[in-house]
Chain A
Amino acid sequence: MSPLDSTTPAGPTRQEDVITDPSGAGSLPRPIEIGSRRGQPAAGRQALQDIALRIASIVALLFIWWLLSLIFPPTLIPKPWETFAEVGAIIGAGDLFFEMGNTLRRVGVGFGLAMAVSIPLGIFMGTMRSLESFFEPPVVLGLTMPGLIWAVLAIMFFGLTETSAYAAVAITIMPMLTISLWQGTKSIDKDLIDMSKVFHASPWSKVVDVIMPQLISHILAAIRYGLGLAWKVVVVVEMFGFSNGVGYRVVRGFNTFSMKTVLAWTITFLVVMIVIEFGMIGWLERTVTRWRPRVEAWRR
């Protein structure tokens, strides 16, 4: 029988060729345990141990706080539980959602503006020599500018309006976002661009299917770092004389010299930030990088 008569060519030996299954991908890389002679604990036990250690760390921090509150007067360091009662009161009064909502909206709008400018600008700078030379000085200059100064300038320019908050956030993170996109674009695989040309991909398809996916990790890193900058600036702007937002509440606590209020707002703010940072952005990252096998360099 000639090979032409036979049916479909058999694929390679199936199971061995599949390295892993994406759905089965999971656990975080483990740190190297130098000098560890013990056998590897079962995965479940290991996970429990990790959680226990994290809880222990938080308990230790609370304990130190409590010790300090014994030494200093309550006007300087309030008791932990009194502070948490204040947090409860803030939530109970419905203030939290109102103030946090205002602050988050300012960060969100500022961020959106910055992305809308920085993503195309960064891509153009990475692909066109002349634009790169032209925009490099302002971008580098902008990177060294303290957010506090942008906040002052924005309020002087726009007055105590929402616009000044949006502008201050946007302009503070713009240089950093632009730089990551610009550098990311330069590292794009030219061979894939050639491939997309050979198959006559439309300009839109080139951007969406070929270029953006290669930039996604740069964008995520920039978002992480940018959020850190954005929170700081927005709180400063709110402190200057806004009548709502987390920054305003903190300043009000400062004016009445209520350490409890200042700490309570700070703690709620931190919790919300951490949820956004690790919860939402972490989720986003896992979703958009599902195609990539997990690096498990530390697995033994």
Chain B
Amino acid sequence: MAYVRVDQAVKFFPREDGSQMLVLNGVSFETKEHGITCLLGPSGCGKSTLLNVISGLERLDRGQIEFRVSGSNPKLENRNPKLGYVFQDPRLLNWKRVEGNLTFALKGMRIPRAEWERRLGKYLELVGLLEFRQQYPLYLSGGMRQRVGLARGLVIEPEVLLMDEPFSKLDQLTARKLREDALQICARLRQTALLVTHDVEEAAYMGERIVVFSARPAHIIEVVDNPLAPSDRNFDDLHFIQFKKKLLNTVLKLIDQEVRV
């Protein structure tokens, strides 16, 4: 498994009138290896853009993205590592059954067919959907569809899993359950993952490391490492609540300073 190093990333988007809008303004950070790194920032600051750049859907105007594996001297990973992607609204192929959506990804990533059955079983079981593998997505609830999206991201056994606000469209209870499950699954698989969110509590709960973005044009204003191990994070636990408050205060203070500067 690899980790991601983003170095001085700069990205412009053309506006309707032809002028350039600066979205990423020299973003630099490193993710954890074998853990979730949360990208926390206000809506519209460029978090999804950064994920799209990392996944290759968009190109940077300046700066670079590196995938590395740790060692005594960090060596460069191959240029095209396997990346899984979990989208905000799950972007499933509604005309394919649950397992068909997973094999679509397996086929795309050229995973040998002999592997498919084992992987389908393993990852559908992990997200708790084994008995729904023959179902069509439109017959599932929103939370279950999101689980299919998560399973599709994991089934290719990616070096880095990218998640773009995967819980933000769900109702509160479903989202909470899914966060717990996703954290547990990623911890068990020791999965390197990047999770985009604008929710401070979600970042405090999910992130080994929390990278705080400014408003657009985005740059990094703080990197916070989570003092709690994944297994010690509990929404009702005093230590967790303290950390969450501290993170919230940090973010508020930094945003405040930003505005004044």
Main secondary structure on B side of the interface with A: helix
**Which residues of A lie under 8 Å from residue B85 when comparing CB positions?**
195, 198-199
**Which residues of B lie under 8 Å from residue A2 when comparing CB positions?**
231-232
Given A3-B184, A17-B144, A201-B107, does the pair A191, B87 have CB atoms closer than 8 Å? yes
- Closest-by-CB residue of A relative to B91 is A195
Cα distance, A18 to B138, chains bound together (Å): 9
Cα distance, A198 to B156, chains bound together (Å): 12
Give which listed residue, A195, A200, A291, contacts B95 with CB less than 8 A.
A291
CB under 8 Å from chain A, chain B span 144-201:
144, 147, 152, 156, 174, 177, 180-181, 183-185, 187-188
B4 at the A/B interface (Cβ < 8 Å)?
A: no
Min CB gap B164→A, angstroms: 11
B230 at the A/B interface (Cβ < 8 Å)?
A: yes
CB under 8 Å from chain A, chain B span 193-251:
230-232
- How many chain A residues sit at the interface, stated as a range, is 35 or more
A210 at the A/B interface (Cβ < 8 Å)?
A: yes
Contact, CB under 8 Å: A12 / B177: yes
Main secondary structure on A side of the interface with B: loop
B139 at the A/B interface (Cβ < 8 Å)?
A: yes
Contact, CB under 8 Å: A19 / B139: yes
Min CB gap A43→B, angstroms: 21
Contact, CB under 8 Å: B136 / A290: yes
Contact, CB under 8 Å: A3 / B107: no
User: How many residues of chain B are within 8 Å of chain A by beta carbon?
Assistant: 50
A213 at the A/B interface (Cβ < 8 Å)?
A: yes
Given A9-B128, A10-B128, does the pair A3, B135 have CB atoms closer than 8 Å? no
**Which residues of A lie under 8 Å from residue B57 when comparing CB positions?**
194, 197-198
**Which residues of B lie under 8 Å from residue A292 when comparing CB positions?**
94-95, 136, 138
Contact, CB under 8 Å: B109 / A4: no
A21 at the A/B interface (Cβ < 8 Å)?
A: yes
**Which residues of A lie under 8 Å from residue B180 when comparing CB positions?**
3, 9
**Which residues of A lie under 8 Å from residue B83 when comparing CB positions?**
198
Min CB gap B171→A, angstroms: 11
Min CB gap B151→A, angstroms: 11
Cα distance, A2 to B141, chains bound together (Å): 28
B29 at the A/B interface (Cβ < 8 Å)?
A: no
Contact, CB under 8 Å: B93 / A210: yes
Cα distance, A4 to B55, chains bound together (Å): 29
Query: What 0/1 pattern do residues 170 to 210 of A give for CB contact below 8 A with B?
Result: 00000000000000000000011011111111100100011
B252 at the A/B interface (Cβ < 8 Å)?
A: no
Min CB gap A44→B, angstroms: 26
Cα distance, A19 to B231, chains bound together (Å): 34
Cα distance, A292 to B231, chains bound together (Å): 40
Contact, CB under 8 Å: B129 / A11: yes
Cα distance, A19 to B183, chains bound together (Å): 27
Known contacts A196-B104, A292-B94; 8 additional CB pairs below 8 A are A4-B231, A9-B184, A11-B127, A19-B140, A199-B105, A291-B138, A292-B95, A293-B138
**Which residues of B are at the interface with A, using a C-beta cutoff of 8 A?**
55-57, 83, 85, 87, 89, 91, 93-97, 104-105, 107-110, 125-129, 131-132, 135-141, 143-144, 147, 152, 156, 174, 177, 180-181, 183-185, 187-188, 230-232
